[in-house]
Amino acid sequence: MLPQARARAKEMGHRGAMFPWRTISGEEASAYYATGTAQYHINADIMYALRKYVQATGDEQFLRDCGSEMLVETARLWLDLGFYSDAKGGKFCINAVTGPDEYNTVVNNNAYTNLMARENLRYAAHTVESLRATDPDAYNAPVRKTAVDPSAGGMAARSGKNVPPV
């Protein structure tokens, strides 16, 4: 599904990967913007599930072979979607999103979305840094596959610290 998520991000004018809210074949199947396309939190939900899977099973091989690439691409989307706001004291803001509470659609700095994005960014940065320190070959694979800037980990970590919950 990662190729379709990359294509969806590009279609929506973003970098990285944007996983669908509803899908049949990996492509977004929801026709309504506010409850489909604006639900960016799906990316973080999937990365949260990835983290829990690795924690529960110890499947570090999956994290190295597939998960690290997914983490880099979802972090890339958050960094493309969000911005540092002078009006919010330099915090990293994510606007025009719909959180899991679908009664409040297309809002700025949805608490759930921001908190989950922060965790996605932190886990991506931690995973990339951990691979760099412990397994250079495994580190080089997602760097090569995603063309990630090796200094991007620091940026993701900084963003993770500055994402406001509301």
The active-site residue out of 11, 27, 28, 102 is: 102
pLDDT of amino acid 12: 92
Q: Say if residue 158's pLDDT is above 70.
A: no
Q: If you average pLDDT over residues 63-67, what whole number do you get? A: 94
> What CATH number did the domain enclosing 39 receive?
1.50.10.10
Q: Say if residue 166's pLDDT is above 50.
A: no
pLDDT of amino acid 83: 93
Helix (H, G, I), strand (E, B) or coil at 97: strand
pLDDT of amino acid 31: 76
Q: Say if residue 16's pLDDT is above 50.
A: yes
Based on the residue annotation, tell me whether 129 is a catalytic residue of this protein. Answer: no
Helix (H, G, I), strand (E, B) or coil at 85: strand
CB 142 within 8 A of CB 131: yes
- What are the pLDDT digits (tens) for 85-107? 999 999 999 999 999 987 888 99
At 40, is the pLDDT very low, low, confident or very high (cuts 50, 70, 90)?
A: very high
Q: Of 156, 147, 69, which Cα lies nearest the Cα of 120?
A: 156
Q: Which of 14-23, 68-77, 92-101, 149-158 has the lowest mean pLDDT?
A: 149-158
Residue 165: beta bridge partners?
none
pTM, entire model: 0.88
Domain assignment of residue 116, given as a range: 2-162
CB 125 within 8 A of CB 160: yes
The CA distances from residue 106 to 19, 80, 136, in Å, are: 17, 17, 41
Which two structure tokens, joined as six digits, stand for 131? 């691979």
- What are the pLDDT digits (tens) for 125-146? 999 999 999 998 888 887 888 8
Domains of the chain: total:
1
Helix (H, G, I), strand (E, B) or coil at 118: helix
Q: If you average pLDDT over residues 68-92, what whole number do you get? A: 94
